[in-house]
Structure 1
Amino acid sequence: HLNIQGNTELVPALQARLPGDVAVVEIGTFGRRGEIRSSAMLSGVSVGVITNISRDHLSAGRRFSDYIECKGEMVEVAEDLVLNADDPIVASLADGLPRERVVFYGIQSSESGGVVPEGRECPKCGKPLRYTRRTMGHLGDYQCICGYLRPQPDVMAIEASPGGFKLVIGQEMREVRLATPGIFNVYNALAAAA
Structure 2
Amino acid sequence: MTKTIIFDLGAVLIDWNPHYLYRKIFDEEAKMLHFLENICTPDWNEEQDAGRSLEEATQLLVDRHSEQEEYIRAFYGRWDEMLGGAIEGTVDVFRELKESGKYNLYALTNWSAETFPIAQERYEFLNWFDGIVVSGTEKDRKPFDSFYHTLLTRFDVHPSEAVFIDDNLRNVKAAEKLGIDSIHFTSPEALREELEKREIL
TM-score (norm 2): 0.25
Structure with higher Rg: it is 2
TM-score (norm 1): 0.26
Higher-helix-fraction structure: 2
